[in-house]
């Protein structure tokens, strides 16, 4: 009976030891295993069994990218301005053996390396260069840290300057400078607006003057055209009137030629001729004493014209 109990106890102890030495490594993790105090292997994700009292899990490593936010560091710029800068480092473990045995405290080592690198870089820049060169500082620091941490099995993916905090008096001076710059830009914009407004007003006046001149020109052209048309119509009317007079005169002469003149008609024509003579510039008119003789002379002249035809 005692033997059975002893066997059961041994089996229970063996089972407990087996359970205690069975390890399941989760995804994106790794275990660094030592055998008899020396590095033996690295377990990746999956089921693993270690030998009791011989194997030992020395370090459990996370393979995911990690972020560490370091506290602000006091730095001095090239122009002797003291400021506080805190950094954020994104890193990832690539070699578990180097991470476990390369340095005692990797995070503390990265923090101190970041602080010294940051002081060296800021010491080469003035205040304005520090405030405007974040990207350049981030890139250079990432390259330096990545190269230095290769021996620790760590890859630095990104470095960001989280906050740059200059002294209070510098902040006040910067705020005043920014305010003055905003006021200057506002004055420039106001002057530009007034200038553009004056230009637009002058341009509008110019266009108005051009349009007025063009309208006056068109009106003058229309007036000239109307006057020319009126003169043409007046000339045409005068010509037509003259033509009508000439036609009437010709018709009258034809009638005189066709009809033998009588004494009364000749006498009337003589009076008309005298009236025309009197309408001229002559100052003295001689009237024949015997108008009947004149009428006879006109009759004889008319008969002579007939015979000639």
Judgement on whether residues 39 and 79 belong to the same structural domain of the protein = no
> What Å distances lie between residue 30 and 20, 49, 140, CA to CA?
18, 14, 31
Which of 154, 60, 76 shows the shortest CA–CA distance to 111? 154
123-175 tens-digit pLDDT: 888 888 888 888 999 999 999 999 999 999 999 999 999 888 888 887 777 77
Q: Model confidence at 308, in pLDDT bands (50, 70, 90)?
A: very low
Question: For the residues 67-88, what does the mean pLDDT come to?
Answer: 90
Place of tokens 């690539």: 94
Count the domains in the chain: 3
Helix (H/G/I), strand (E/B), else coil: 239: helix
The whole-number pLDDT of residue 212 equals 87
Q: Cα(261)–Cα(279) distance, rounded to whole angstroms?
A: 25
Cα dihedral angle (161, 163, 167, 171), rounded to 10 degrees?
Answer: 110
Residue 122 domain-assigned?
Answer: yes
Q: Cα(59)–Cα(39) distance, rounded to whole angstroms?
A: 11
Which of 62, 85, 108 is the endpoint of a domain?
62
More confident residue, 159 or 14: 159
Phi, psi of 214 (to 5 degrees): -65, -40
Q: Is the overall model pTM greater than 0.75, yes or no?
A: no
Q: What tokens were used for 302?
A: 């008319």
Residue 160 domain-assigned?
Answer: yes
Which of 166, 158, 163, 165 shows the shortest CA–CA distance to 68? 158
Question: For the residues 212-229, what does the mean pLDDT come to?
Answer: 87
Judgement on whether residues 58 and 75 belong to the same structural domain of the protein = no
Half-sphere exposure of 59 (CA within 13 A, CB side): 22
Q: What tokens were used for 7?
A: 């066997």
Q: What is the CATH number of the domain that holds 139?
A: 3.30.479.30
Task: Identify whether the C-beta of residue 156 lies closer than 8 Å to the C-beta of residue 146.
Answer: yes
Q: Model confidence at 275, in pLDDT bands (50, 70, 90)?
A: low
Judgement on whether residues 56 and 107 belong to the same structural domain of the protein = no
Judgement on whether residues 70 and 153 belong to the same structural domain of the protein = yes
Question: For the residues 228-255, what does the mean pLDDT come to?
Answer: 80
Judgement on whether residues 48 and 71 belong to the same structural domain of the protein = no
* DSSP letters for 128-158: HHHHH-HHHHHHHHHHHHHHHGGGGTEEEEE
Q: Model confidence at 6, in pLDDT bands (50, 70, 90)?
A: confident
Q: What tokens were used for 63?
A: 């393979």
Which of 62, 90, 114 is the endpoint of a domain?
62
13 is in which domain, residue-wise? 2-62
- For residue 284, is pLDDT > 60? no
Judgement on whether residues 293 and 306 belong to the same structural domain of the protein = yes
Residue 301 domain-assigned?
Answer: yes
Judgement on whether residues 11 and 100 belong to the same structural domain of the protein = no
Tell me the helices (H) and strands (E) count for the chain, helix number first: 8, 9
Judgement on whether residues 120 and 71 belong to the same structural domain of the protein = yes
Residue 270 domain-assigned?
Answer: yes
Which of 169, 144, 156 shows the shortest CA–CA distance to 66? 156
Mean pLDDT, the chain, integer? 81
Which of 134, 149, 166 is the endpoint of a domain?
166
Residue 11 domain-assigned?
Answer: yes
Q: Cα(30)–Cα(97) distance, rounded to whole angstroms?
A: 10
Residue 32 domain-assigned?
Answer: yes
The whole-number pLDDT of residue 232 equals 86
DSSP3 helix / strand / coil % (the chain, rounded to 5): 60, 20, 20
Q: What tokens were used for 152?
A: 């620790």
């Amino acid at each position: 009976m005692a033997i059975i109990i002893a066997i059961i106890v041994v089996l229970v102890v063996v089972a407990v030891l087996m359970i205690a030495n069975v390890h399941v490594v989760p995804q994106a993790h790794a275990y660094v295993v030592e055998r008899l105090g020396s590095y033996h292997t690295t377990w990746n994700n999956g089921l693993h069994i270690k030998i009791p009292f011989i194997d030992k899990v020395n370090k459990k490593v996370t393979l995911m990218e990690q972020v560490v936010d370091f506290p602000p560091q006091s730095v001095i710029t090239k122009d002797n301005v003291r400021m506080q800068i805190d950094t954020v480092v994104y890193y990832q473990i690539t070699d578990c053996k180097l991470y476990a045995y390369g340095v005692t405290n990797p995070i503390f080592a990265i923090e101190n390396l970041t602080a010294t690198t940051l002081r060296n870089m800021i010491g080469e820049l003035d205040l304005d260069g520090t405030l405007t060169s974040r990207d350049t500082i981030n890139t250079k620091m990432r390259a330096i840290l990545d190269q230095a941490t290769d021996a620790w099995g760590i890859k630095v993916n990104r470095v960001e300057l989280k906050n740059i905090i200059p002294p209070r008096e510098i902040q006040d001076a910067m705020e005043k400078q920014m305010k003055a710059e905003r006021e200057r830009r506002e004055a420039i914009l106001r002057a530009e607006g007034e200038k553009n407004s004056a230009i637009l007003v002058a341009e509008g006046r110019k266009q108005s003057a051009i349009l007025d001149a063009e309208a006056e020109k068109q009106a003058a052209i229309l007036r000239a055209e109307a006057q020319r048309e009126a003169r043409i119509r007046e000339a045409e009317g005068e010509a037509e009137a003259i033509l009508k007079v000439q036609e009437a005169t010709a018709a009258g002469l034809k009638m005189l030629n066709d009809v033998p003149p009588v004494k009364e008609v000749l006498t009337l024509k003589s009076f008309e001729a005298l009236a025309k003579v009197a309408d001229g510039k002559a100052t003295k008119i001689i009237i024949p004493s015997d108008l009947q003789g004149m009428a006879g002379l006109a009759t004889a002249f008319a008969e002579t014209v007939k015979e000639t035809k």
